Amino acid sequence: MKGLIPAAGLGTRLHPITLAIPKELMMIGDKAVIEYVIEAMKEVGITDITVVVGWRKNAILDYLGSGKRLGVNISYVVQDERNGLAKAVGSGEHIIGDEPFLVVLGDDFFYPKTFLKEILEFHKKQDADATIGVAKIEDPTRHGIIKPGKNNKIEDIIEKPSKEKAPSNLGCMGVYIFKPDIFAAIKKTKPGFKDEYQLTDSIKILIQDKKKVLFSEIKGTHIDVGTLEDYRKANAFLLERKA
């Protein structure tokens, strides 16, 4: 299985830091947050990884290089227009090919690094068309929120709803496993929340097409390093673990 890491976002909530560097290169402890994602992929045997870059792409290339330093093989694709996560994932189609693949957002911090093991095992055992990693969340306006059904089936998914409209407290954690069917769904996807092409809308198309779309709850600690507060929280968490 190949891995894909979207890393083309602007990181506007982290200004002024991200005026100089991409948010994926924000340091947590002694490593950039994207390096933790790569280490987690390597932990489950995924060493062919595609990084989707855009703004400040040279900095990410300079940091990761070919991946040799990290023991993986890294290729890059450019998302020229930063018009949503669905388009970021879709930009990797020509490299991913016709095999299942794993997507993990490049600005998410997870602990421990073995967090991918259970969701991958679940996906393979269920032979799902898509498996979405979720966890219980407090603020639905920062996540895609699923409507869970029986046997881990996803009945619906909504991008960043208000608390009143959220169908559950299970939010997408930026971890997805897809069969290549997702690429056809992305091509059908129309602009949605914030006039961007949302991956949640592409997943909704899979559901409408009667594909087997399931969820798996991710254990451990997850911090979306999207605000200065959460960035500080991730560093404090790691320091506490080392202490």
Q: Is 161 within a domain?
A: yes
The residue written with tokens 């991958």 in the block is 120
Q: Is 228 within a domain?
A: no
The residue among 151, 128, 152 whose CA lies nearest residue 217 is 152
Q: Is 227 within a domain?
A: no
- Inter-residue contact 226 to 14 (CB < 8 Å): yes
**Which carries the bigger pLDDT value, residue 21 or residue 202?**
202
Task: Provide mean pLDDT across the span 167-191.
Answer: 95
State the pLDDT at residue 142.
87
Task: Provide mean pLDDT across the span 193-205.
Answer: 93
**Crossing angle for the helix pair 181-188 and 199-208, nearest 10 degrees?**
110
Q: Is 231 within a domain?
A: no
Task: Provide mean pLDDT across the span 143-149.
Answer: 94
**Which carries the bigger pLDDT value, residue 85 or residue 241?**
85
DSSP state at residue 212: -
Task: Provide mean pLDDT across the span 16-31.
Answer: 85
Q: Is 140 within a domain?
A: yes
- Inter-residue contact 186 to 90 (CB < 8 Å): yes
Q: What angle do CA 157, 163, 167 make, to 5 degrees?
A: 35
State the pLDDT at residue 13.
73
Task: Provide mean pLDDT across the span 62-84.
Answer: 93
Task: Provide mean pLDDT across the span 54-81.
Answer: 91
What kind and span of H or E run contains 3? Answer: strand 2-7
**How would residue 19 be classed by pLDDT, with cut points 50, 70 and 90?**
confident
The residue written with tokens 């679940």 in the block is 122
Cα(66)–Cα(72) distance, integer angstroms: 8
Q: How many domains does the chain have?
A: 1
216 pairs with which residues across the strands?
Answer: 133
Say whether pLDDT at 56 is over 90.
Answer: no
Cα(144)–Cα(48) distance, integer angstroms: 27
**How would residue 50 be classed by pLDDT, with cut points 50, 70 and 90?**
very high
The mean pLDDT of the chain is 92
Task: Provide mean pLDDT across the span 140-156.
Answer: 94
Task: Provide mean pLDDT across the span 172-179.
Answer: 96
175 pairs with which residues across the strands?
Answer: 104
Minimum mean pLDDT range among 76-85, 98-107, 146-155, 160-169? 76-85
Q: Is 22 within a domain?
A: yes
- What CATH number does the domain containing 149 carry? 3.90.550.10
Say whether pLDDT at 102 is over 90.
Answer: yes
The residue written with tokens 């507060």 in the block is 229
Q: Is 135 within a domain?
A: yes
Q: Is 194 within a domain?
A: yes
CA torsion, ordered 231, 235, 237, 242, to nearest 10 deg: 170
Range of the domain at 33: 2-221
Q: What pairing do the DSSP bridges indicate for beta strands 170-178 and 130-136?
A: antiparallel
**DSSP track, 87-146:** HHHHTTHHHHTTS-EEEE-TTEEEESTTTHHHHHHHHHHHT-SEEEEEEE-S-GGGSEEE
Per-residue pLDDT tens over the stretch 114-143 = 999 999 999 999 999 999 999 999 899 989
Task: Please name the residue ranges forming H helices in the chain.
Answer: 33-43, 57-64, 85-90, 93-96, 116-126, 181-188, 199-208, 228-242
The residue written with tokens 């914030």 in the block is 194
State the pLDDT at residue 16.
77
* 3-state DSSP assignment of residue 67: coil
Task: Provide mean pLDDT across the span 79-86.
Answer: 87
State the pLDDT at residue 164.
92
Task: Provide mean pLDDT across the span 39-59.
Answer: 92
